[in-house]
A and B are shown apart, each in its own frame.
Chain A
Amino acid sequence: MTMRWEPGKPVYLETERFILRSVSPLWLAYQTLPWTEDPQIMSPFNHRTGGWSVWSWRKTMVHANNRRKFLLGIFPKTTQMLIGFETITIDRNGIGSWAVMIGDKDWWGQGAVLETRQRLLQFLFEDVGCPKVWGMPNVRNFPAVFNYNRLGFVQEGLLRQHVRSIDDEDRNDLVVFGLLKSEWQEQQGRTR
């Protein structure tokens, strides 16, 4: 069952294996605080490992209003246990940007990001009305780059040495990936 979303109301989306639903930042911070101790989870986001409180961790999260800012937990239908979350922000031009964290490592390499983001693209393009969705992963975050490629995003640019690495003071490049609604619709036509 996937309920029709109304602006300002909690989001509830389903895929074959997962439920995506609105969660509060504080609840999410409590649930995910243990993940902040794991460098494999934190490094790709250029967050420091360890030393977080629930409150400091919560401050990094989108203050969701379910209109232009969304914070969605990812729950497998089998266990209903939180395995990750997605943050989405819609800017004044209606462009959606997003970031995802899968903290339950048993789900790494299981296609959770691909499956849930396919559903999110449908939500953003058809329900929210975004003309475009974009993201900006670290180029050395190979799994993230893989997922953008598999979802059909187009590389729009490269921000060279744009961020300072939290791990080693090195400077890292970010890739700008974008997907237009028309490109997504074309993909849907090809896969049907």
Chain B
Amino acid sequence: MSDVDARALVADCLRLPLDCVPADGTIETIPGWDSLRHFEIIARVEKVTQRRLAPDEIVGLRSVRDVAALMSR
């Protein structure tokens, strides 16, 4: 999985165009990344990776890069 895949996943969950989701975007910097969309992102990551995320992975997911790292594991 690439950074582009992670950006696309986040953009899709946030209903944003891909160019509104930079690779270095975070929960603080991307508009519309709220608690409900965050739920969708984690659920989608678990679906794509076909595994239940560990507690530390859930707590540590704060950015597009974190999504990319989880998808590449």
Report which A residues bind B (CB closer than 8 A).
108-111, 113-114, 139-140, 142-147, 149-150, 155, 158, 160, 173, 175
When C-beta atoms are compared, the residue in chain A nearest to B33 turns out to be: A146
Majority DSSP secondary structure for residues of B touching A: helix
Report which B residues bind A (CB closer than 8 A).
27-28, 34-39, 42-43, 55-56, 58-59, 62
Q: From A140, A143, A145, A160, give the contact of B36 (CB < 8 A).
A: A143
The answer on a CB contact under 8 Å between B42 and A142 is: yes
The answer on a CB contact under 8 Å between B36 and A108 is: yes
**Could you say which residues of chain A place their CB within 8 Å of the CB of B36?**
108-109, 143
The answer on a CB contact under 8 Å between B34 and A175 is: no
When C-beta atoms are compared, the residue in chain B nearest to A152 turns out to be: B28
The answer on a CB contact under 8 Å between B55 and A146 is: no
CA distance A150 to B33 in the complex (A): 10
The answer on a CB contact under 8 Å between A150 and B55 is: no
Given A109-B34, A143-B35, A155-B59 contact (CB < 8 Å): yes
**Could you say which residues of chain B place their CB within 8 Å of the CB of A108?**
35-36
CA distance A142 to B43 in the complex (A): 9
The answer on a CB contact under 8 Å between B55 and A142 is: no
**Could you say which residues of chain A place their CB within 8 Å of the CB of B39?**
142-143, 146
**Could you say which residues of chain A place their CB within 8 Å of the CB of B62?**
149
Q: From A110, A111, A175, give the contact of B55 (CB < 8 A).
A: A175
**Could you say which residues of chain B place their CB within 8 Å of the CB of A158?**
55-56
Given A146-B27, A149-B27, A150-B27, A139-B58 contact (CB < 8 Å): yes
When C-beta atoms are compared, the residue in chain A nearest to B35 turns out to be: A143
**Could you say which residues of chain B place their CB within 8 Å of the CB of A147?**
35
When C-beta atoms are compared, the residue in chain B nearest to A137 turns out to be: B59
The answer on a CB contact under 8 Å between A109 and B59 is: no
Q: From A111, A143, A150, A175, give the contact of B59 (CB < 8 A).
A: A175
CA distance A42 to B6 in the complex (A): 32
CA distance A149 to B36 in the complex (A): 14
A sample of 14 more A-B contacts (CB under 8 A), given A109-B36, A114-B35, is A108-B36, A113-B35, A139-B59, A142-B38, A143-B36, A145-B59, A146-B35, A146-B38, A146-B39, A150-B27, A150-B28, A155-B59, A158-B55, A158-B56
CA distance A41 to B35 in the complex (A): 14
When C-beta atoms are compared, the residue in chain A nearest to B38 turns out to be: A146
When C-beta atoms are compared, the residue in chain B nearest to A177 turns out to be: B59
**Could you say which residues of chain A place their CB within 8 Å of the CB of B58?**
139-140, 142, 145
